[in-house]
Amino acid sequence: MGVSTDTIGPNQSLKDGDILVSSGNAFALGFFSPGKSRNRYIGIWYNKVPEQTVVWVANRDNPINGTSGVLVIDPAGNLVLSNESRNLSVWSTNVSSITLQKSSSAQLMETGNFVLFQDQSRSVIAWQSFDYPTNTILPNMKAGWNRKTGLNPFFRSWKSHDDPGTSEYVFKLELNGTPQFFLYKGSDRLWRTGPWNGLRLSGVPEMDPNFVFNIIYVENDDEVTITYVMKDPSIFSRMVLNESGTLERLTWQGPDRGWARFWDAPEDQCDNYAHCGAYSNCDLFNLSEFECSCLPGFEPQLERQWYLREASHGCKRKQEENVCGNGEGFIKVTNAKVPDTSIAHVNKNLGLTACQELCLKNCSCTAFASANISGGGNGCITWHGNLVDIRQFSNNGQDLYIRVSAAQLARNTRNSKGFHGKRLATTVIASIVGMLLILFLACWLSKKKRKGAKGETKSLFSSSTGLTSYDSRGKEMDGSGTNAEVSVFDVNTIVSATDDFSQSNKLGEGGFGAVYKGRLDSGQEIAVKRLSKISGQGNEEFKNEITLIARLQHKNLVRLLGCCSQQDEKMLVYEYLPNKGLDNFIFDKTRRSFIGWSKRFEIILGIARRDDISPRRLQTKNYSQGFES
């Protein structure tokens, strides 16, 4: 047959050694042997890529021995692969003969789709390879369910580089609850994309609009599908489920660079399905050594295992937490991958406020979120049962509202504008009394300090240090220097700024204490390191450290704004940098591509600038909450 055609007609055959080539020369179809194997298969590969990259295999589990294979259209109109004597069929399109005619033909399209047309006019598609993929998702291929035909094209990895046979790794769409893709190894779930939220799949923050491709998501009575379309068709890009069970998006960079990987999943331990168990959150940006933490109002199911960093048993609601008809409400978790929606309920006609009210009315409702976060948000997802597979992203996540008791709500949402239920009259009275007591105590402490009284509430620092003190309103106190490098904050200022060190403001925790995000009355965002009482650091060591750091400020390192040492509290106050640390960029597989070597060299030079810097000052980078590029 040669290579001059892209079509097989009724009276034609494709023998081993012949190939079809698409009209624009992008793809070829023919016989091949993978790796070191001598078995022969019919497959489709990139025609313009020098290293053979197969994207579809017909007879992946039924290879042909030797070069006797032939592909023909049989008298019924089906594509059939057999040996040359045609006494052994190894693969067929197997379409009902009622829909086919003897004049049917098959064409290799420029998209890489091999299409069997019902008649010679090519007006009706009887079968296409895009409906029966192997391990590769190509541009313009619809991944998902065809509700009319019942087809659910799913993807199976090759067994090995030498064997394209079906393996135990499967990537497919499931419609239970809300549609979402799962990656399986046998019957075990490995990774979940999360549902479509109007902008992207909830668990794939990298799916932002970009200069390479557009994403098309369709969910209606006919289909639930997702498709990516290349903005420049000359760019070869594919998504492949490889033999190790990893999904990868690859783009051809030319013979010198080959296939470059731009994204993969699962990427880290938080991507692993239900890594932290039920009612927990997985956060790699947490400053503690353990990425798992229980949701507000919950505690580890098995304390010892959790202490040993084994969280598969997850968390349970605290015994004293009553979340049914007792003033309960919701705490917002931001930038989240929403829990598994397999058993969630969806109402596309409700807004967020109505969604909250719906969840609050049902004691079994454990959380809610917007179904669609585009255009201000609409639609309602509610969960009734275990919350599984939640993780935290640095950006491009979405808001998730966790049901908590009135007591937990009071601890976490003081001065917040989040969603909450109505509180009982006794809770309101208790809150007012508590606030009055706090105000009275604050005034008493302030008055005592101004008189120079000694005691445990006295600040560790005097005005002779050249550090500026601030009261609970963030105003400069009398008697302190005005040209200070670092400020001494009143403890009430820090408590107010961090919403009483609420869990929702907690950025992480290390061996010397926890770090919280805060906002001063002036609007400035801060990061507060609250030293642990068991850190072993005494007053003199703390004072010496602050004095040293105050003299070693550097414009290219995170800035120390101040400190606080009152009662039994010792705190360091740093500027808050929203992009987290430099390591968040240079060690992340996706973000590191944003910082080329020229930019890295500039960063190195910037950090090495003298500007009154000492090598010891570099140690304070551990307190940094961000990197401003």
The SS3 assignment for 193 reads strand
Residue 447, CB-side half-sphere exposure with 13 Å CA sphere: 6
444 belongs to a structural domain: no
454 belongs to a structural domain: no
* Residue 610: CATH number of its domain: 3.30.200.20
pLDDT in tens, 343-361: 999 999 999 999 999 999 9
Give the pLDDT of residue 456: 37
Q: Are residues 621 and 486 in the same domain?
A: yes
Evaluate whether 93 touches 127 at the Cβ level (below 8 Å).
yes
Give the pLDDT of residue 625: 33
pLDDT in tens, 552-576: 666 666 778 888 887 678 888 988 8
Give the pLDDT of residue 620: 33
- pLDDT tops 50 at residue 421: no
Order across the sheet with 69-73: list the strands.
13-15, 69-73, 79-83, 89-92
Give the pLDDT of residue 470: 43
- The number of domains in the chain is 4
pLDDT in tens, 243-267: 999 999 999 998 888 999 999 999 9
- pLDDT tops 60 at residue 417: no
- pLDDT tops 70 at residue 614: no
- pLDDT tops 90 at residue 156: yes
Give the pLDDT of residue 100: 72
- pLDDT tops 60 at residue 616: no
Residues 71, 584: Cα–Cα separation, whole Å: 52
Residues 112, 224: Cα–Cα separation, whole Å: 22
In the chain, the amino acid numbered 386 is N
- pLDDT tops 90 at residue 599: no
Q: Are residues 365 and 316 in the same domain?
A: yes
| Of residues 542 and 76, more confidently modeled | 76
Confidence of residue 607 (pLDDT cuts 50, 70, 90): low
Which of 214, 247, 267 is where one domain is finished? 267
Rounded average pLDDT over 94-113: 85
- pLDDT tops 60 at residue 338: yes
Give the pLDDT of residue 537: 62
Give the pLDDT of residue 420: 38
Give the pLDDT of residue 405: 93
CA angle 91/97/101 to nearest 5° reads 105
Residue with tokens 């902008």: 199
Q: Are residues 529 and 590 in the same domain?
A: yes
Q: Are residues 124 and 142 in the same domain?
A: no
Residues 59, 41: Cα–Cα separation, whole Å: 6
> For the CA atoms of 598, 604, 610, 613, what is the dihedral angle to 10 degrees?
150
Confidence of residue 430 (pLDDT cuts 50, 70, 90): very low
pLDDT in tens, 197-236: 999 999 999 887 677 889 999 999 999 999 999 999 899 9
* Residue 46: CATH number of its domain: 2.90.10.10
Residue 629 CB: number of other CB atoms within 10 A?
A: 11
Q: Are residues 263 and 356 in the same domain?
A: no
Structural domain of residue 599, as residue ranges? 459-629
Between 32-36, 113-117, 329-333, 454-458, the lowest mean confidence (pLDDT) is in: 454-458
Residues 345, 446: Cα–Cα separation, whole Å: 53
- pLDDT tops 80 at residue 472: no
439 belongs to a structural domain: no
Give the pLDDT of residue 61: 96
Q: Are residues 13 and 2 in the same domain?
A: yes
Between 32-36, 116-120, 268-272, 515-519, the lowest mean confidence (pLDDT) is in: 116-120
Average pLDDT, the chain: 82
Q: Are residues 127 and 137 in the same domain?
A: no
Which of 369, 398, 423 is where one domain is finished? 423
- The percentage of residues in the chain with a pLDDT greater than 90, rounded to a whole number, is 53
Q: Are residues 151 and 126 in the same domain?
A: no
557 belongs to a structural domain: yes
Rounded average pLDDT over 67-74: 92
In whole angstroms, how far apart are CA 415 and each of 134, 408, 411, 420, 496? 54, 14, 10, 12, 9
453 belongs to a structural domain: no
Residue 384: burial class (beta carbons within 10 Å; 0-12, 13-18, 19+): middle
157 belongs to a structural domain: yes
In the chain, the amino acid numbered 265 is A
Quick one: tokens of 191? 């990774």
| Of residues 78 and 624, more confidently modeled | 78
Q: Model-level pTM greater than 0.85?
A: no
Phi-psi region of 86 (alpha: psi -120 to 50; beta: other; left: phi over 0): left
Residue 42: burial class (beta carbons within 10 Å; 0-12, 13-18, 19+): buried
Please name the helix (run of DSSP H) or strand (run of DSSP E) that holds residue 45, with its range, or none: strand 41-46
Residue with tokens 């109109």: 77
Which of 132, 163, 189 is where one domain is finished? 132
* Residue 230: CATH number of its domain: 2.90.10
Name the most confidently modeled range: 300-309, 320-329, 379-388, 487-496. 379-388
Q: Are residues 252 and 299 in the same domain?
A: no
Q: Are residues 492 and 416 in the same domain?
A: no
3-state secondary structure 330-385: EEEEEEEECCCCCCCEEECCCCHHHHHHHHHHCCCCCEEEEEECHHHCEEEEEECC
Residues 455, 530: Cα–Cα separation, whole Å: 21
Give the pLDDT of residue 53: 97
Confidence of residue 325 (pLDDT cuts 50, 70, 90): confident
Has 529 been labeled as part of a binding site?
yes
429 belongs to a structural domain: no
Give the pLDDT of residue 20: 97
Q: Are residues 470 and 580 in the same domain?
A: yes
442 belongs to a structural domain: no
CA angle 448/451/455 to nearest 5° reads 50
Q: Are residues 574 and 625 in the same domain?
A: yes
The SS3 assignment for 9 reads coil
Evaluate whether 350 touches 379 at the Cβ level (below 8 Å).
yes
Backbone φ, ψ for residue 539 (5° rounding): -60, -45
Residues 33, 25: Cα–Cα separation, whole Å: 21
Closest CA to 26 of 238, 256, 258, 226: 238
Q: What is the CA radius of gyration of the chain?
A: 31
Give the pLDDT of residue 418: 41
Q: Give the bridge partners for 562, in sequence order.
A: 487, 573
Residues 123, 117: Cα–Cα separation, whole Å: 7
| Of residues 145 and 609, more confidently modeled | 145
